[in-house]
Structure 1
Amino acid sequence: MGSIFYMERNGQKYAYESTSVRVPGRKNPKTIKTYLGRVDPETGKIIPKESRSRPKEEYAKHYGSVRFLDGIQKDMGIFEDLDEVFTTLAPNIMGAAMALAINPTSMDSIHYTVENTVIRETMKLRGTLSPSTMGTVCEDVGGMMMSMVSETEMRLENTKHRDPELTYRKLPPFVRRYLDYTVDDDGYMHIERKQNAFTFADNRAGMFVMLASSGTTFDQMMTSYDVRDWVEKAFDVYKNELEGDRNNTGNPERARGRLFIKFIALMMRIRIQNVLRDHDRDVLRTKAKKDSVNGMSVSELLLSLNTVFAIGNTGDWRLTHISKNIREIFSVFGLEQMESGQIVLG
């Protein structure tokens, strides 16, 4: 995320946003300065710049839910902690967690939520968190987490990397029969196959018989077998989840990264749930007049917030009408109220 700074000319204060962008081949990042607008001398708020001509193409993106979740995470200090630990990965982690909090779905579908909301503009993302990007992000996050946990454990225990020989001896005998280990210069243990043992086991393996109709060729038979295998796997995906939102992955680091991002999304939703529950209790205890927030679930609240749109294009955005229900939601959570009209995204 960029930082906002101010410059004064002829007695008028102007606001700019400074964003650092890494350039391949250069040691130091490049700083991009973007003009945001002038500063109101009385309120201190930024008055967004007005474009001389409205762009031909305008976009309508969900704004209310993102603005709300951004306020929630700031109160909890989530992004501040992520930025301190994961640095450049922090915006992607926070953006993905916000997308999951708004629309709990699979990691491969997050980019749809990012495209339909102002998450990209709010978190200063360089893309829409495509499936390939999320795969890389989750893998990097999981790897960093395991490295930090391992280093912390050894520092607390005042030990070095685990004794490889002792670790190997703890493996079951039938596993040690086929696996061996090596240790690199950094003291890390690597498990390797015993090729001779695997070859011997393969030679002793049996076979299975496939019965086919008369005249069926080998290629036709194997194709039919493959199709059956695909159908069985597809059924395995869809039998429990109608949309097939599975988290299976063969990479343990990527799995840890996914769980970490989902945990952050869960933290925000639990925070919202707790505030809603306390608000309902306070109204019942004090017998105060009920408002539109009473009885709301987390999902219902976020859907209600999605009625506020940001319409426009780069550098020229405006908010739609802010209803009474939206104002009451922000009031219950102690967040700064939104105002319809021109806004600055970011």
Structure 2
Amino acid sequence: MRSGITYAYDSKSHWDKEKQQSRSTQHLIGRVDPVTGEIVPTDGRNRKAKAKQPVKPSQDFSHKYYGATYLLTQLAVKTGLAQDLQACFGNLTDMILSIAEYLVLELESTLCRFNHWQKPHVHPANQPIFSQQSNDLLGQITKSQITDFFRRQSKSRP
């Protein structure tokens, strides 16, 4: 008991072979509440426990490759390729450009690997194109659209 306050300690004894005597160590657990008799944890210096800093939630970051696809998209726009695709294929243009850029950049890969490739790359479609969608896309393109596209391309070339 110090200054009228009763403290609770954890005491452990052990035998010191060298000095041939018993030794004990005490660790303060806390003070005994005089009203309830319960042990209230304390650090023994009458300090309040420091408020823990709230853990900031980690931010999710993503890394996407943009350079090569940006270059190919700009080439398609500047050469008139994107405009001709838009005129012939309408709302399929971005999907066609995305798949074409994939096939140019990944020469050895097959179309079934496109789904894996598109996750870390920015591409004109700017949304996931699933395997079934790419198959449907190829089925939607008609011979007359292809003929019209090449006719437009031949007119724009010297």
Q: TM-score, normalised by structure 2?
A: 0.51
Counterpart residue identity of residue 61, structure 2: E
Equivalent of 2:111 in 107, 111, 123: 107
Equivalent residue number for residue 68 of structure 1: 71
Residues 51-66 of structure 1 correspond to what in structure 2 (within 5 A)? 56-66=59-69
Residues 79-98 of structure 1 correspond to what in structure 2 (within 5 A)? 79-98=82-101
Classify 1:58/1:128 alpha carbon distance in 2 versus 1 (closer, same or farther; 3 Å).
Answer: same
- Tell me, what secondary structure is at the counterpart of 1:85? helix
Shift of 1:75: 2.1
Classify 1:85/1:64 alpha carbon distance in 2 versus 1 (closer, same or farther; 3 Å).
Answer: same
Residues 88, 145 of structure 2: 8 Å contact kept: no
Classify 1:82/1:65 alpha carbon distance in 2 versus 1 (closer, same or farther; 3 Å).
Answer: same
- Tell me, what secondary structure is at the counterpart of 2:63? strand
Residues 4-19 of structure 1 correspond to what in structure 2 (within 5 A)? none
Deviations, residues 95-114 of structure 1 (Å, cap 9, x unaligned): 11011111122111112221
Residues 82, 93 of structure 2: 8 Å contact kept: yes
Classify 1:148/1:131 alpha carbon distance in 2 versus 1 (closer, same or farther; 3 Å).
Answer: closer
Residues 234-245 of structure 1 correspond to what in structure 2 (within 5 A)? none
- Tell me, what secondary structure is at the counterpart of 1:62? coil
Counterpart residue identity of residue 80, structure 1: Q
Classify 1:73/1:65 alpha carbon distance in 2 versus 1 (closer, same or farther; 3 Å).
Answer: same
Percent same amino acid among aligned pairs?
A: 15
Equivalent residue number for residue 143 of structure 2: 145
Partner Cα separation in structure 2 for residue 147 and residue 124 of structure 1: 20
Partner Cα separation in structure 2 for residue 82 and residue 69 of structure 1: 14
Residues 108, 134 of structure 1: 8 Å contact kept: no
Residues 108, 130 of structure 1: 8 Å contact kept: no
Classify 1:56/1:108 alpha carbon distance in 2 versus 1 (closer, same or farther; 3 Å).
Answer: same
Partner Cα separation in structure 1 for residue 83 and residue 96 of structure 2: 12
Residues 98, 125 of structure 2: 8 Å contact kept: no
Where does structure 1 lack aligned partners over 5 or more consecutive residues?
1-54, 153-259, 261-346
Q: Which one has more relative contact order, counting CA pairs under 8 Å at least 6 apart?
A: 1
Where does structure 2 lack aligned partners over 5 or more consecutive residues?
1-57, 151-158
Larger radius of gyration: 2
Residues 115, 128 of structure 2: 8 Å contact kept: yes
Counterpart residue identity of residue 145, structure 1: K
Deviations, residues 205-227 of structure 1 (Å, cap 9, x unaligned): xxxxxxxxxxxxxxxxxxxxxxx
Classify 1:136/1:75 alpha carbon distance in 2 versus 1 (closer, same or farther; 3 Å).
Answer: same
Shift of 1:124: 4.0
Partner Cα separation in structure 1 for residue 143 and residue 79 of structure 2: 21
Higher fraction of helix: 1
Equivalent residue number for residue 122 of structure 2: 118
Deviations, residues 253-303 of structure 1 (Å, cap 9, x unaligned): xxxxxxx9xxxxxxxxxxxxxxxxxxxxxxxxxxxxxxxxxxxxxxxxxxx
Residues 66, 98 of structure 1: 8 Å contact kept: yes
